[in-house]
């Protein structure tokens, strides 16, 4: 049996990937080959798989591994961190947190940056020469090789993502933008709002911006903005599940994505699949997953604003194109091969 250790997955992109991975395993009729350990904060509707919930901590992971390690032929750690004890069986670590290896210009506090450094050191000392690593892009492969795993031959690029969105045939709202993201300093929400204020002041028609934040985070974000132009309508949709995200893509014309740091950027792929225009940061991570509609300097508020205005006024915008290929079948085949 194959252990999938997803103890540190509980929200946002990681949760979406985990849901998709489980669905694919069930669809392929392989659910009896896997056993999942999950964060007890995770709320999933699980019926067909073997699993148990664990309170997320290294102490609890270690206790589980000490008790159960001989039950498994392979281990797949879903969230960046190798097993808490040395294993001599096939072990794969899916690394998808760029902040652990590169947190420059992200706006995090010194305390938070120190926590990233400590965690990176812990990952490095728990790595073993027989462990294999899986990442989503060549860019993350290079970074991981430079900072944690010094043997590049142990790192494989196997991106995967949900690619089966339903066509709901909803009418799109004119001049509408969507930003699918949680609220963290590197997500750059503050500059985004400032850019939309400038754009609205220079545009006669209504502009709509939809965000996907927890309600408290949205209140915190908007508190400094006492005067919003009347033609700028900002709505918070809240934290969305996959069906709700699909609906949000259907109702909006454009995805805007000003993030300063991403390992992958799932919304870039999702919006491309849903045929939205994608206006995004001019940073390296973007080109490894899509060819966008327009790019901007995410540090420059004026440049973000100009891109918004271009999106509103240009008669023809090129649709984005996928660069990254979904390799979920290859990943599952590697895990299940004898």
φ and ψ at residue 128, rounded to 5 degrees:
-130, 155
* pLDDT tens figures, 84-134: 999 999 999 999 988 888 877 777 888 888 988 999 999 999 999 999 999
Interstrand relation of 290-291 and 321-322 (parallel, antiparallel or unpaired): antiparallel
Name the β-bridge partners of 3: 35, 75
How far apart are the C-alpha atoms of 306 and 64, rounded to whole Å?
53
Contact 69, 87 (CB under 8 A): yes
The string of DSSP letters for 180-193 reads -----GGG-HHHHH
How far apart are the C-alpha atoms of 23 and 1, rounded to whole Å?
18
* pLDDT tens figures, 223-259: 999 899 999 999 999 999 888 999 999 999 999 999 9
Output the pLDDT for position 44. Answer: 66
Please count the other Cβ atoms lying within 10 Å of the Cβ belonging to residue 290.
21
Give the helix ranges, DSSP H, for the chain: 12-27, 58-68, 110-126, 138-147, 189-201, 215-222, 242-251, 266-273, 284-287, 301-313, 328-336
Give me the helix-helix angle, 12-27 and 328-336, nearest 10°: 60
φ and ψ at residue 226, rounded to 5 degrees:
-75, -30
Evaluate the CA torsion angle 319, 320, 323, 327 in order and state its sign.
negative
Spell out the residues 6+ positions from residue 50 whose beta carbon is closer than 8 angstroms to its own. 1, 31, 32, 34, 35, 36
Taking alpha carbons only, the member of 205, 182, 209, 180 closest to residue 193 is: 209
How far apart are the C-alpha atoms of 126 and 85, rounded to whole Å?
7
* 0.85 exceeded by pTM: yes
Contact 57, 42 (CB under 8 A): no
Segments of the chain with pLDDT less than 70 = 44-47
How far apart are the C-alpha atoms of 51 and 214, rounded to whole Å?
28
- Kindly state the helix (H) or strand (E) to which residue 177 belongs, with its residue range: strand 176-179
CA geometry: angle at 281 spanning 275 and 282, to 5°?
Answer: 110
The residue whose two tokens read 């795993």 is: 149
Output the pLDDT for position 182. Answer: 92
Interstrand relation of 321-322 and 294-296 (parallel, antiparallel or unpaired): unpaired
Output the pLDDT for position 45. Answer: 66
């Amino acid at each position: 049996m194959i252990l999938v250790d997803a103890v540190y997955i509980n929200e946002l992109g990681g949760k979406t990937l985990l849901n998709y991975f489980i669905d694919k395993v069930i669809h392929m009729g392989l659910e009896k080959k896997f056993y999942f350990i999950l964060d007890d904060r995770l709320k999933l509707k699980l019926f067909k798989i073997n699993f148990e919930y664990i309170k997320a901590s290294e102490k609890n992971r270690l206790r589980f591994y000490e008790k159960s390690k001989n039950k498994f032929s392979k281990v797949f750690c879903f969230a960046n961190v190798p097993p808490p004890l040395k294993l001599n069986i096939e072990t794969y670590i899916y690394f998808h947190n760029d902040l652990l290896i590169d947190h420059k210009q992200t706006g995090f506090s010194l305390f938070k940056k120190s926590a990233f450094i400590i965690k990176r050191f812990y990952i490095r000392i728990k790595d073993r020469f027989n462990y294999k690593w899986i990442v989503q892009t060549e860019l993350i492969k290079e970074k991981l090789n430079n900072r944690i795993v010094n043997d590049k031959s142990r790192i494989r690029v196997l991106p995967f993502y949900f690619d089966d969105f339903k066509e709901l045939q909803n009418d799109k709202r004119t001049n509408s933008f969507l930003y699918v993201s949680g609220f963290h300093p590197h997500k750059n929400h503050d500059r985004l709002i400032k850019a939309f204020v400038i754009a609205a002041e220079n545009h006669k028609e209504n502009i709509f911006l939809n965000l996907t934040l927890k309600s408290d985070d949205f209140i915190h974000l908007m508190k400094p903005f006492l005067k919003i132009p009347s033609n700028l309508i900002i709505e918070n949709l809240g934290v969305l599940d996959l069906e709700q995200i699909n609906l949000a893509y259907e109702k909006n014309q454009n995805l805007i994505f000003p993030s300063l740091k991403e390992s992958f950027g799932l919304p870039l792929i999702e919006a491309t699949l849903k045929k939205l225009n994608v206006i995004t940061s001019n940073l390296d991570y973007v080109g490894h997953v899509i060819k966008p509609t327009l790019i901007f300097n995410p540090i420059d508020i004026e440049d973000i604003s100009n891109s918004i205005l271009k999106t509103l006024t240009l008669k023809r915008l090129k649709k984005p194109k996928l660069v990254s290929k979904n390799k979920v079948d290859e990943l599952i085949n590697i895990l299940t091969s004898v």
